[in-house]
Structure 1
Amino acid sequence: MRGARAGGSRRPFYVALLVVLVLGAGAISWAMNRTKAASVMTIDPKAAVGIKAQGHTLGSPAAPVEIVEFADFECPGCGQFATVTEPDVRERLIKTGQVRFRIFPFQVTQAHQNTIAAALAAECAADQNKFWEMHDKLFGGQADWSAMYSPGRDPRPVFDRYVKELGLDQAAFNACYDGRQHLNTIAANTEEAMRQKVAQTPTFIIGDRMLAGAQPYDAIKAVVDSVRAKGPAAPAAAPAPDSAKK
């Protein structure tokens, strides 16, 4: 009888505990979905109408070869290229005048939920002539703001930290970012990626060659040398305002 009474006294406790757990899980799920919905930024494809994608360039407009990269700020392979290979490309190819580099940031997959926000942050930094500095911050600190590492994460606090570290005008950045002032530019980049039949990121176009994936320096250099041997590059499009050597 003692055992039966003990078992009966525990049943209400377990029922109550189950109710608490179910309600708690529901509340957590609701909160995560609410945060996720609040932080994910999207673009309207129609925003690209009448806008010509120009990207952002680095290096001399007179360089004989242009490397074009289609990149997604949340793409791990893009982060690998930007932090491992690109420093060599800048030092050994761009600074020496052999190539100019042009990047088109866009969202390659909707699974990269914070990519558009990051691209917008970079465009807003470009308004203050700091695109490449923000580019480096975003790729170097990808794990700090990417939703790939933490779904539902709001990247804005990290972007604001980068704004401070780069010495940008916070009020001007806020007006640009909160006003979504460059979503049409990102939409145009997306249209250009589709036109070029870009299927993954990073994708590089060097002359008549298309390379997919995070390429090592030697692979980039080999294609550059091959293109140079064929003759000068076609005239470049008008560079973005932040074009400069770095």
Structure 2
Amino acid sequence: MAGKTNNRRKVVKNASARPKTFYYVLGAIALTGASILGYSVLRKPSGAIGTPVTVDPATLGPAQGYLLGKPDAPVKIVEFADFECPGCAQFATVTEPDVRKRIVEAGLANFTFYDFPLPQHKNSPAASMAAACANDQGKFWEMHDRIFLAQYQWNTQATDNPKPFFAKYASDLGLNMPAWEACYDSQKHRQRILSNFAEGERRQVNSTPTFIIGDRKYPNALPYDAIKAIVDSVAAK
């Protein structure tokens, strides 16, 4: 796997210790929810959709997702994802570009990303924080893309301190680094990430990625053709 390819990893020296409070808090919240105890990244054959579950799209609550596309688009695509989830990375790098260009940019639907860091992925909350801090400077989606593309560099198997990698991505994106680092180190968006996670629990998300399109929940990665067919079906109602 790419994540284990030694010659693709970068060695970062003199890395500063990362803040720990946020990760402990997230872990404590995770352990209070009965459903989270059974969480795992569920893998199914490529292209499998899984059995959809009916949900009420009006009950998203106060969680703050990241919107791509027109707020008033006729169909809403919602993703609950973990930045360290391999299936989420595959969707983000392989399928999502087509979804953005051919569905979102065409005005057929909008797309909202919600953080759902699974407890076994210890570096995922840090990735969510890195992206949230990039969002302060209008670069959430650019950081989202870079984090998923380079998942093998910063995941739990690769390092116990992912901050230097995220800082490099932020610098490459031209962000104001003092502002980004102050945001990251202070855990400025901890509540936003926790709220998104809690919203996923409330909506009985138990694997990543999970998609909600219209009033149906799909607990598995979806190929482009399936997403397009679902969007067309919802729009026709």
Q: Which category of TM-score, normalised to the shorter sequence, fits these structures? A: 0.7 to 0.9
AA paired with 1:125? A
Number of equivalences: 189
TM-score by length of 1: 0.73
1:106 deviates by: 2.1
Give 1:130's match in structure 2, choosing from 139, 143, 161: 139
Give 2:104's match in structure 1, choosing from 94, 99, 122: 94
- Give the structure with the larger helix fraction: 1
Give 1:42's match in structure 2, choosing from 3, 11, 23: 23
1:236 counterpart residue number: none
1:177 counterpart residue number: 184
The CA RMSD measured in Å over matched residues stands at 2.0
Q: Which whole-Å deviations, capped at 9, do the CAs of 1:213-242 have from their partners, x for residues lacking one? A: 221001111111111111xxxxxxxxxxxx
**Unmatched 5+ stretches in structure 2:** 1-14, 30-60
Looking at CA atoms only, which structure, 1 or 2, has the larger radius of gyration?
Answer: 1
Q: How does 1:1-246 map to 2 (within 5 A)?
A: 42=23, 44=25, 52-108=62-118, 110-147=119-156, 149-150=157-158, 152-230=159-237
Q: Matched residues in 1 for 2:193 and 2:203: separation?
A: 15
1:208 deviates by: 1.2
1:124 deviates by: 0.3
Q: Taking every aligned residue pair, what percent have the same amino acid on both sides?
A: 52
1:38 deviates by: 5.6
TM-score by length of 2: 0.75
Is contact 1:67–1:205 with CA below 8 Å preserved after alignment?
A: yes
1:94 deviates by: 0.5
Is contact 2:18–2:163 with CA below 8 Å preserved after alignment?
A: no
Is contact 1:79–1:142 with CA below 8 Å preserved after alignment?
A: yes
**Unmatched 5+ stretches in structure 1:** 1-34, 231-246
1:153 deviates by: 2.6
Q: Matched residues in 2 for 1:183 and 1:68: separation?
A: 21
1:62 deviates by: 2.1
Q: Secondary structure at the match of 1:67?
A: strand
Q: Matched residues in 2 for 1:191 and 1:103: separation?
A: 14
Structure 1 runs, 4 residues or longer, greater than 3 Å off:
37-41
2:52 counterpart residue number: none
AA paired with 1:177? Y
AA paired with 1:42? Y
